[in-house]
């Protein structure tokens, strides 16, 4: 029996939020890049550096693939997710290490 828990996570950078959302969707960088029609290296750079942002059209596509709003990716709105499986809890714990939880 899985117990769902609601969490609110605020991270400092766009890259951290992008990585968190990607992990929560269970997407590897390569899979995510294919869906966005970009290179895996581009996703890695976005997640690792806090100086780059994607174009508005790519940001919208990312939000759609990740099932979040553009505001959540940009940090204007807290990221909310339900943790209902052991794998998701492990991913959330791993991903939240570099983030601030409120």
pLDDT of residue 78: 76
pLDDT of residue 92: 54
Q: How many domains are contained in the chain?
A: 1
Q: What is the CATH number of the domain that holds 70?
A: 1.10.260.40
80 is a domain residue: yes
| 3-state helix vs strand vs coil in the chain, percent to 5 | 55, 15, 35
75 burial level (CB within 10 Å; 0-12, 13-18, 19+): middle
Total number of residues shown for the chain: 102
7 is a domain residue: no
pLDDT over 80 at 97, yes or no: no
pLDDT, tens digit, for every residue of 31-84? 999 999 999 999 999 999 877 899 999 999 999 999 999 999 998 777 776 655
36 is a domain residue: yes
Q: Is the pTM higher than 0.85? A: no
3 is a domain residue: no
Average pLDDT over residues 20-35: 95
> What is the residue range of 83's domain?
12-97
pLDDT over 60 at 1, yes or no: no
Contact 44, 77 (CB under 8 A): no
51 is a domain residue: yes
CA distance 93 to 73: 19
1 is a domain residue: no
2 is a domain residue: no
């Amino acid at each position: 029996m899985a117990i769902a828990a609601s969490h609110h996570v605020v991270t400092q950078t766009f890259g951290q939020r992008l990585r968190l959302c990607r992990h929560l969707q269970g997407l590897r960088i390569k899979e995510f890049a294919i869906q966005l029609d970009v290179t895996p290296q581009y996703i890695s750079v976005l997640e690792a550096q806090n100086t780059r942002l994607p174009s508005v059209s790519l940001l919208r596509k990312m939000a759609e693939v990740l099932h979040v709003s553009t505001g959540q990716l940009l940090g204007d709105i807290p990221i909310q997710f339900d943790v209902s499986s052991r794998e998701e809890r492990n991913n959330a714990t791993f991903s939240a290490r570099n983030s601030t939880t409120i």
